[in-house]
Structure 1
Amino acid sequence: MLLSALLWVFTTTGGRQIFVKEVLGGAYDSQAEHFLRGNVDVDAEAIGHEAMIVNGEVRMYFGPFPALLRIPLNFVYPAGHGKWSRISGFCAGVIALFAFAGLVRTALCSSLLSSRARNWLGNACLIGFAFGSPLLLLLGNLSIYDEAIIWGLAFSLAALLFAFRSRLVEGSALTRALLGLSLCAGGALLSRVTFGAPFILIAPFLALKLQRENRIANLMALALPLCAALTFYVWLSYAKFGSLTGVNFDYYINPVHSEFAHKFGVFSPRRILNSFADYFSLRFPSLQREPPFLAADRHFYEHPSLYSNDFSEVYLSLPWCSGWLIFGAIMGITCLVRRKGADAFERGATVALFGQFLCILSYFLLAQRYAADLYPFLIFCLVIFLGSGGVALLRSRHVIIGLIALSVIVNSLATVSWLVNADQNVPPETRAAWEKLLGRRYSKSESEKS
């Protein structure tokens, strides 16, 4: 609860900025209104420079879940129209936080650690996830881009939690766990497809393990919500772009990205090694004398045939942002490779989530927010290590806690620096509040130039 309160303060810039117009956040409200009218369009002024023009109609490529969420919110409180991004994003952040806590708790219950050591390590991991991961960035800037990502991450972790629990329970509890998995996987699919797609592959591995007792009910609980979400996603893609597979960048009004995607493709395996080198480099932000003491910024990264931009927005690589998680994931992968008892679910989930991992590494843009797509795989491997690390976990728990402390400090300072100095999608009033907190003089004219 304390972490949730701290994240609320961070998200709302001290608790004073709740209903704020985030960049293009009103596009979800517009999409919701058009859904109620029976079409898939969006107002041009709402989607702005991210519009796609299909046969003269304006469309948006972002996942529909935040728009669907706007329907009841605007019905209950119409004055919040166009300003729901922070409440929506905070709810997703809390779901992600509690889902991660459940995963860690479930894993540690089968470890060799004492009860006290479990509490220390579990609480440290929770702090690490809250402040030593991209979650902090996503909550600090809930523009149209980040809101979809944070919901995808939240639903993905919740689906993983239900998947692990379904292997520990029986009877009606199993049915509820499978239903929760299916609903969350569907939510992930409708938020950001890269988060939901792995569960289409994971679900059959769970289905194969179902016992004869209540088999039909359990299969329906596992399949129906996810199949409904997949059907809606395919229908919506076809209604928007005339394609069953999703967005077509030929319709994008941004000529730079559109032409690049048409020529070199949105995803390409040729980018994997270069993207991995950027996301996992040891590059450290520049130091500065004034708060927040780190200067996070874009860096030159020109590969004309690989990336649409000649720069990368990965302002803090994962070894500095989440070194604790990388360490745990490496140990978890080692456990999976060495263990003879790894079952079909563990192997299938590893492959499916690693597919998502490779997918984002093959994308034609590099940005800190996209790193969130790497985390379901890393977290899954961490959970494997926490649950079956044995003596290795016993010996390395202090190393993990130390890495968490380092990641929390570096990621927090770098994220604040990025939000204040470099992020073009931070609202002026939010930037002004951060400037005041850091003891700087805020210039509105300079903010508009940036």
Structure 2
Amino acid sequence: MIFKKNLTLIIWCAAIVWSIMGILSWSHLPVEVRPGGLRLTFNSMIDHMLHGHFDVDPKTVEEEGFLRDGKVYAYWGIFPSLLRLPVLLFPNGLHWDVTRLSSILAVLMILFFNYRTWRFVSDRYLGGNSWVSLCLAIALAFSGEQVCFFEHSLYQEVCFWALAFASWFVYCAIRVLCEKEYWRYGGLYMSIAASCALLTRVSMGIGLYAALLCFLIIYFYRWCRSFRTKEDGVTLPSIVVPAVISVLAIIVTGYVNYRRWGNPLTFANYDLYLYNVEFPSRVLRTKTYGLFNLQRFYLGIVYFFVPIWIFQKADGHYVLQDSFTRLIDANELPPSSFFLTDGFMLLCGGLLIAGLFRKNRVFPVSRAAFASIAVSLAIPAFLMMIAISMNYRYRAEFYPDIVFLGTLGCVYLYRNLRDVTFLKKTLITLLVISVVFSNLNIALYGESELGPAYMYIKNGVFSYYTHRMF
């Protein structure tokens, strides 16, 4: 038992070291600070915001900017720019590239809440040192969300912080579902996490807001019931305070949108996108199919789960190339599948979902509450599957639900199926595959060029990576 406790401690310490090394090692961009460049966009954003403006220096955002009324704007949320406030205390601080440091802090936050999540369910439901607990620790530490995105580019920084807030939210959500009295703190924490996510990456924020709304409805109903029956129950401030915080964040987001685009409900106006000059077909594609379209759903399944799009046909074209080219702007390298990078968590979550339809199975969480939260957390993933662009980093939107389902799936597994030998062997095999492919993916991602894949793989994917690596 002492060995197992030490082993889990080693796992989490090793994960911290591995994550920091990964961010320090991989990058598409030069390490040195340049006079301008994308990595200084948030520096420019905070500088302009302090002067009452919401545009950025065109030299920083470059083609990723949006030209409106003679000024250039970025579409990213303002939270990462607020992290740059401390650099203003130093001479020439706005020229410091702190993207790497910011990314490391976000990853450490992800690992911290992954650890808290594991520790809570392990001590409460998984027997502390069972094989299920050990497998969950390895899955949360060495596969999935923080491993698959080792980078210190601005794109990854935004995703890291969105994932950090989502990890905080998921930890609190699991605790609230398992410990109803934790709502007193969990509701407040979840409202802060959802608000920060909305101010970082709107798609992630939408999913967290939807889940928070479900919790607010559940606990408002419980408050009304306890009020009528004169029994001790949920306090009204524990509902009102999270709701107020959430509304304030929506107001701030709407104000930023209004100052940027002239409409509080617009998060980005792609008619003004500077990259349209380089890729003029995007304008017509956006007008024809919109930023989100259900016609892309099957392409989303292929891109995120079954990457047959990398197979080249005899005529030199790729499988579904015509559909991808017609409906979306880019299907970005490297090819990947959640079945490979997160097979362990997906199977645990799948077993849980299947088991909920069987009344004789033991599960310590309200089925209705669980289902509503799981569906809400799936909204960002669904949006990415019908989005006009399918980039590798958009896989981040899937992880709140994967971690939520996989973690509670381990609880279900331990209570109902842990003695099934074949299942145990299958899960351990999937865990090994998840760790291997998560780390392989980031190696490939570090060697991949951003943007439409078909521009680079004319001679095949294998040839492309062989040339890039050797």
Question: TM-score under structure 1 normalisation?
Answer: 0.81
Distance 1:371 1:379, change over 3 A: same
Shift of 1:193: 0.9
User: Does the aligned pair in 1 maintain the 2:194–2:208 contact within 8 Å?
Assistant: yes
- TM-superposed deviation, 1:178: 1.8
- Out of 399, 403, 407, the position equivalent to 2:430 is 403
Cα deviation, residue 368, structure 1: 1.5
Distance 1:159 1:363, change over 3 A: same
| Aligned with residue 59 of structure 1, among 73, 77, 98 | 73
2:15 maps to amino acid: L
| Separation in structure 1 between the aligned mates of residue 125 and residue 301 of structure 2, nearest angstrom | 32
C-alpha separation in 2, matches of 1:5 and 1:178: 32
TM-superposition CA deviations, 1:66-124 (whole Å, max 9, x none): 11111124436854734111111111111112222222333344546563435422322
Structure 1 counterpart of 2:395: 371
1:242 aligns with 2:266: no
Whether the aligned pair in 2 keeps the contact of 1:18 and 1:87 (CA below 8 Å) is no
Structure 1 residues 353-372: aligned runs within 5 Å: 353-372=377-396
Equivalent residue in structure 2 for 1:388, among 400, 408, 412: 412
* Cα deviation digits, residues 176-233 of structure 1 (max 9, x gap): 3222111111111111111111222222332332546562321233223222211111
Matched to 2:410, the amino acid is: L
Counting only pairs closer than 5 Å after superposition, residues 252-267 of structure 1 correspond to structure 2 as 252-255=273-276, 256=280, 257-267=282-292
- CA deviations on 1:133-152 (whole Å, 9 max, x unpaired) are 25334222x22222111111
Which position in structure 1 is the counterpart of 2:165? 155
CA distance in 1, matches of 2:346, 2:309: 17
1:299 and 1:109, CA in 2 relative to 1: closer, same or farther beyond 3 A?
farther
Task: Name the counterpart of 1:269.
Answer: 294
Deviation at 1:351, TM superposition (A): 1.7
Letter in 2 for 1:138: F
Q: Distance in 1 between matches of 2:43 and 2:381?
A: 31
Taking the aligned partners of 1:143 and 1:351, their CA distance within structure 2 comes to 31
Q: Secondary structure at the match of 2:72?
A: strand
Shift of 1:393: 4.1
SS in 2 for 1:191: coil
Q: Is the 8 A contact 1:283 1:317 kept in 2?
A: no
Aligned-residue offset at 1:269: 0.9
Q: Indicate which of 189, 194, 197 corresponds to 1:188.
A: 197
**Is 1:165 equivalent to 2:140 in the alignment?**
no
2:384·2:397 contact (CA, 8 Å) conserved in 1? yes
CA distance in 1, matches of 2:354, 2:468: 50
Q: Partner of 1:53: helix, strand, or coil?
A: strand
Code of the aligned partner of 2:197: A
**Alignment-derived partner of residue 289 in structure 1:** none
Q: Percent identity at matched positions? A: 19
Look up the match of 1:323.
343
Give runs of aligned pairs for residues 92-107 of structure 1, distance below 5 A. Answer: 92-107=106-121
Mapping 1:330-369, distance limit 5 Å? 330-338=350-358, 342-369=366-393
Q: Aligned partners of 1:299 and 1:45: how far apart in 2?
A: 38
Extract unaligned runs of 5+ from structure 1: 287-297, 425-439, 444-450
Following superposition, the deviation at residue 385 of structure 1 comes to 0.9
Other structure's SS at 1:302 match: helix
Aligned to 2:328: 307
Q: Which amino acid aligns with 1:29?
A: N
3-state SS of paired residue (1:139): coil
Q: Is the 8 A contact 2:208 2:376 kept in 1?
A: yes
The whole-number CA distance in structure 2 between the counterparts of 1:188 and 1:394 is 39
Partner letter of residue 350 of structure 1? Answer: A
SS in 2 for 1:316: coil
Name 2:208's counterpart in structure 1.
199
Distance of aligned partners of 1:20 and 1:423 in 2 relative to their CA distance in 1, 3 Å threshold: farther
Contact 1:63 1:190 in 2 (8 A): yes
Query: Structure 2: how far apart are the matches of 1:379 and 1:135?
Result: 12
* 1:228 aligned partner: 248
**Aligned-partner Cα distance in 2 for 1:388–1:122:** 13
Q: Which moved more, 1:224-233 or 1:38-47?
A: 224-233
Taking the aligned partners of 1:217 and 1:76, their CA distance within structure 2 comes to 41
User: What are the superposed Cα offsets for residues 146-181 of structure 1, whole Å, 9 maximum, x if unpaired?
Assistant: 21111111111211111222345576x643322211
**Two-structure CA RMSD over aligned residues (Å):** 3.2
- Displacement of 1:58 in angstroms is 1.0
Residue type of the alignment partner of 2:255:
W
Alignment partner of 1:136: what SS? coil
**Which 5+ residue runs of structure 2 have no aligned equivalent?**
1-12, 224-231, 312-317, 452-466
Instruction: Call closer, same or farther: CA 1:82–1:332 in 2, change over 3 Å.
Output: farther
1:11 is aligned to 2:23: yes
2:309–2:321 CA contact under 8 A, matched in 1: no
The partner residue of 1:414 within 441, 452, 455 is: 441
